[in-house]
Amino acid sequence: MQMLSGSYRLKRLHANESLAIDHIALLLRNTYHTQVSSFFIYHDPNYAKYLRMASLDEDNFWIYQLIDSLGKQMVAFAILTRKERDVFLNQIVVLEHFRGYNLAAKLLSDILGLLLKKYGNDEFSSLKLETFHSNQRAMAIYQHWKMEDSPGKNWYLNMLQDKDNQLHKPIITCSTITDRYGFLQLYANNNPMGTVINGDRARTNGAHIDDVQILIKYLNMQMGIYKICLVTEQQLQLPLIDRTITYSLGISELRDMLSTTKL
């Protein structure tokens, strides 16, 4: 751990702060080193573009940094999105050398305080987030914050290669579309099925499980992609990488909890 002043300021990043946003994207790529993290969207080179464009919507998307007043350096950051009447915490990261100072609680408490001051107590219902079952430290923190938990989704590794050499014609029921952020989105039978990440792997969803097998053939045979993760609530006979847990708590209640919590 490094010496800190104990005095911090909150800084919101805006869409025109490209260097700082690019730095956030780079930090995210280097923060997690697990099997499941290779399927996170920030490994796609278009993720920084997404952050810049999303930041234009200043009432629905927020990136905040916590800056140490002594060294004037970022010690933590968080990314949040409005989803109807909830605020979803996409990411909260305390940089490695500054962990152990209760900075995650400080950062989130200050952010929630600003949101409540700007929008009032009735604008938002709760704060929600997801973490993985393998991240026991994060789970312990959210439980310490008295957040309510509920089951999330299963993340399966599907490295099955299609060996049906009889299928030579293009699979016309599958397609890809590049969205406005530059992400390559996958479709099967006109259903959104997932995203190609970094051109060499894909994360698919199980909302339309009947389309998954044909999509796997499409990814294998026509895109040369064999590293595939399937995210679904269903129980499947595939290697389980990890599973998520959703945590939630009313924003005012969580803010009061964070303002007094000590870890």
Tens digit of each residue's pLDDT (9 = 90 or more) over 112-164: 999 999 999 999 999 999 999 999 999 999 999 999 999 999 999 875 544 55
List of domains in the chain:
8-152+243-260 (3.40.630.30), 160-238 (no CATH)
Instruction: Determine what percent of the chain is predicted with pLDDT higher than 90.
Output: 74
> Under 8 Å CB-to-CB from 118, ≥6 apart: which residues?
none
Of 162, 160, 153, 161, the C-alpha closest to 241 is 153
What is the pLDDT at residue 137?
A: 92
Report d(CA 185, CA 176) in Å as an integer. 5
Mean pLDDT, the chain, rounded, equals 90
Number of C-beta neighbours around residue 108 at 10 A? 23
What is the pLDDT at residue 166?
A: 43
Instruction: Determine what percent of the chain is predicted with pLDDT higher than 70.
Output: 91
| Predicted TM-score of the model (pTM) | 0.90
CA angle 227, 233, 236 (to 5 degrees): 60
Distances (CA, A) of 102 to 30, 116, 142: 22, 21, 13
Report d(CA 227, CA 248) in Å as an integer. 32
What is the pLDDT at residue 238?
A: 85
Of 5, 244, 247, the C-alpha closest to 103 is 5
108: its two tokens: 């989130």
Q: pLDDT tier at 171 (50, 70, 90 boundaries)?
A: low
